Structures are given as C-alpha cells and as structure tokens.
Structure 1
C-alpha cells in the first residue's frame, strides 16, 4: 500500500528514534510545523522545509512527496542494474506484486538460492555428483566381482542407496532454499491488516451475478451489489442518496482500478 506524505515523514522520524522536539532542534524547523506535516490534515510544506527534511533524512524530495519508492537510491541508473528490456517491461506490467518481489530478492538467504540455482543451471553440481557416483559404481562392481553377494546384502544395498540422482538432488536443494524464504516472508506478514479474506470473493461474485442476472439487469447496479456483498451491506436497504455516495466512493477505490489481488501491507 502506498504511503502518504504524512506517513513517510513520521516513519522516517520514528526510524531514527526522534521526538518532534529533537527533530525541530536538528532541522531548525518549528515543532508545530513538523507536527502539522505528520498530521491527518496535511498542510502545505514549504520548499525550504522539504529540502531540509530531505537532506536530514538523506532521501530525495521525490520520495517525501510519494513520487518515488526508493529512499537511498533515488537516481539509480537502469544500466547499473543490468536489467534486460524484458525484465523492465515485466516489472512495469503490474503482473506481479513488485514489493513482494523486492522482499524476496533482499532476503538474507536469496544469494544462496541464486548460487544453488546457478550451480544447477550450469551443470556444475551434476559433474561433481557424477564423479562421486562413478566411485560408488566402481566399489560396487569390485564387491560384486570378488564376493558376488546377493542383491539383499546390506552393504551392497548401502552402496546402491549412495548412488545420487544429480538432477533430483539439485532440485531438492533449490526447493529447500525457496521453502525457507517463503516461510520467512509469510511469518513477516502474518499480522498484516489487509489479509486474504476467509470467504471466497469469486463465490460472492458468482452468487451476486446470478441474483442480478436478468434481461433488463443494470451492470452498474450489479457491480454496486457485488461491492455491498464484500462490505456485508444490504444494497436493497440503501437510500438513493446512500447509493449515490457509494458509487462516488467506489470510483476512487484502488481495488476497482487494479482488480488483481494485492498482498496486504502493515
């Protein structure tokens, strides 16, 4: 969820453990002005105050104004990131939750995942495993030739079990890496306010669509009925004025602008 200017300013101050009095002393801005900047009703911030706060917090003015999401690298050059055109297009497409992708890539175990994936893709581990398997096979052949044990012999069975399927082993290691990261991300967001609802929105939509389906049904009214279903409101009991306001409010909703489900943010 995109942070407001007030939230960004307050978060930056809290991150540094500062009170409004301490921030006023360090920035030479008045406490009352700083408090108003973080208040529910945002007052106009002067250019001077914006520049002072951006300098003090070491962020860009664009970040404070909500025009950028990066605090420490506001002017990063795309060429320095070595991203392909396809990757840039993918990140701008809205097909994935970019904040979640960022959390995935900055997880402490992500470099290990990438290293294991690189080993698998380049076939490095396969050669090593194949060499180990060759040693096991040679020992097994020697035992079979010298002692001719049965296939149920415990020592022979141990050697057979030691033979590694390099492809399955590498994919298992990668899966373990992903599982650890996924569990950590899920734990980090277990208390998010906007979580997946327990009920099924698709089921609600289909039910509402069935209820409002008729040759003369109004698509706009059906959409409003669906929204009321999600808000647990009885659309039929709303007054004309309430329906009018509901329509105006719904048109401002990000959920209607972007129907793709978004993971919650604290």
Structure 2
C-alpha cells in the first residue's frame, strides 16, 4: 500500500522518536506548519520545507513526495544490482506486486531460502544424499545377509525409511522456508485485509440469473430486472425515460447478450 506524504512525514518523525516541538527546534520550521504537513487535510508543502525535511531525515525529496518508495538510493546503477533484462521488464510490467516482492527479499529468512534453493538447483546436496543412502544400503544388505529378516521386520523397515529421496527432501526444505516467510508476511498485513462478506456473492449472482432469466422470458425485460437487482433499484419506480436509458446500457453488457444461465453445465 502506497503511503501518503502525511504518513511518510509522520513515520519518519516517529522513527526518530521526535515530537513536533523537538522537530521544529531541530529544523527551524514552525510547529504549526509541521503539524499541518502530517494532518489528513494536508494540502500543500513548500519547496523549502521539502528540501529541509529531506536533508534532515536523510531521504530523497522524491520519497517525501510519494514519487518513489526508495528512501536512500534514487539513482542506483542497474549494473550494480545485477538484474537481467527479463527481471527489469518484469518489475516494470506491473504483473507482480513489487512492494510485496521487496518485503519477501528483505525477510530475515530469505537468504536461507536462497541458499537452500541454490543447493537444490546446483545439485550440491546430491553427493551428500548419495553418500548417506550408500551407508543405509550397506547396513540393509549386511542385516539381510546375516539375519535374513522378513520385509516387515521393524528394524529393516526403519532402514528403508531412512533412505532419502534427494528431490523430495530438498523440495520439503524449500517449501518449509517459503511457508515460514509467507506466514510472517501475512501476519504483517493482517490489518490490510478487507472484511469478507458472510454471504456467497457468486452463489447469489448465479441464483439471481436463474430467477430473472427464464427461457420463455423477454430478454430485454430480464436484463432490466437483473441490472436493477444488482444495483438495488426498484424497477417499478423508474420513469419511462430512465428505463429507456437503462435498456441502452443493458444492450452493451456482454453478460446479458447471452442471458441463458450456464450453471450446471460441464
């Protein structure tokens, strides 16, 4: 979620542990002006104040104005970031949430995830797993030769269970890393969730089509009824002129060009 100018200014002040009075003393800006910059009905901030506060907080003016989410690295060289052309295009495309991607990358457990992923991708764990499996196989063969236990023998079954599958083990480790990070991010954003309605909107939507659109009904009238129900309008109270315009709107709806319900079809 993008922060407003007011929120950015207040967050920076709170991070420094400063009151408005203390900030005014250190920046030589008036307390009333500083307070107005953080107020919900904030309208304008002078160029002088922007430059003064940006220098004081050690951030860019673009960050204060909400033009970027980067506080301290406005002109980072792409070559230093070692990003591929495909990655740059992805970040510019809007296909992914870049803010969430940043949160993922700066999570304290992200380096561990990358290390485990690198181990799997590069096959580094393969030799270690093979060595461990070789020991288990040798022990299993020795037991079979000396004691010839049945395949249901508990000790033999334990050795069989100890035999590692490299792919399954590495994917389990990677999945565990991702799950932990995902849970933390979800917890951090729990206040952002919109309340979920108790009723099933899709079920209501389909039910409404069945109620208003019948095979032998007038498609035009059905369209009007359908739209009025969705907009919570009383069709009977609409004037002829309003109904006329509503019909024109209904004719532009792709949904109502084929009003017969598809529910239940496979």
Instruction: State the TM-score, normalizing by the size of structure 2.
Output: 0.75
> 2: distance between equivalents of 1:70 and 1:203?
43
Deviation at 1:100, TM superposition (A): 1.6
- RMSD over aligned CA atoms reads 3.0
1:229-264 Cα distance to aligned partner (Å, 9 max, x none): xxxxx3459999xxxxxxxxxxxxxxxxxxxxxxxx
Deviation at 1:42, TM superposition (A): 2.5
> 2: distance between equivalents of 1:196 and 1:92?
31
1:33-55 Cα distance to aligned partner (Å, 9 max, x none): 11122223324322221111001
> 1: distance between equivalents of 2:197 and 2:127?
48
Partner residue, 2:248: none
Partner residue, 2:100: 100
Contact 1:9 1:37 survives alignment (8 Å):
yes
Deviation at 1:154, TM superposition (A): 2.5
> 2: distance between equivalents of 1:4 and 1:208?
40
Partner residue, 2:138: 138
Note closer, same or farther for the CA distance 1:137–1:80 as it changes in structure 2 (3 Å cut). Answer: same
Higher relative contact order (CA 8 A, sep 6+): 1
Structure 1 residue matching 2:152: 3-state secondary structure: coil
2:15 matched to 1:23? no
> 2: distance between equivalents of 1:187 and 1:193?
10
Partner residue, 2:81: 81
> 2: distance between equivalents of 1:167 and 1:147?
32
Give the structure with higher Rg (CA).
2
1:85-132 Cα distance to aligned partner (Å, 9 max, x none): 111111222222222221111111111111111111111112210111
2:40 matched to 1:50? no
What 5-or-longer segments of structure 1 have no aligned partner?
A: 229-233, 241-266
> 2: distance between equivalents of 1:2 and 1:12?
15
Note closer, same or farther for the CA distance 1:235–1:39 as it changes in structure 2 (3 Å cut). Answer: farther
2:4 matched to 1:4? yes
Note closer, same or farther for the CA distance 1:208–1:18 as it changes in structure 2 (3 Å cut). Answer: farther
Deviation at 1:164, TM superposition (A): 0.9
Note closer, same or farther for the CA distance 1:28–1:239 as it changes in structure 2 (3 Å cut). Answer: farther
Structure 2 residue matching 1:40: 3-state secondary structure: coil
Deviation at 1:146, TM superposition (A): 2.5
What number of residue pairs does the alignment pair up? Answer: 231
Deviation at 1:194, TM superposition (A): 3.7
Structure 2 residue matching 1:67: 3-state secondary structure: coil
Note closer, same or farther for the CA distance 1:89–1:18 as it changes in structure 2 (3 Å cut). Answer: same
Partner residue, 2:112: 112
2:171 matched to 1:175? no
Deviation at 1:195, TM superposition (A): 5.3
> 1: distance between equivalents of 2:119 and 2:182?
21
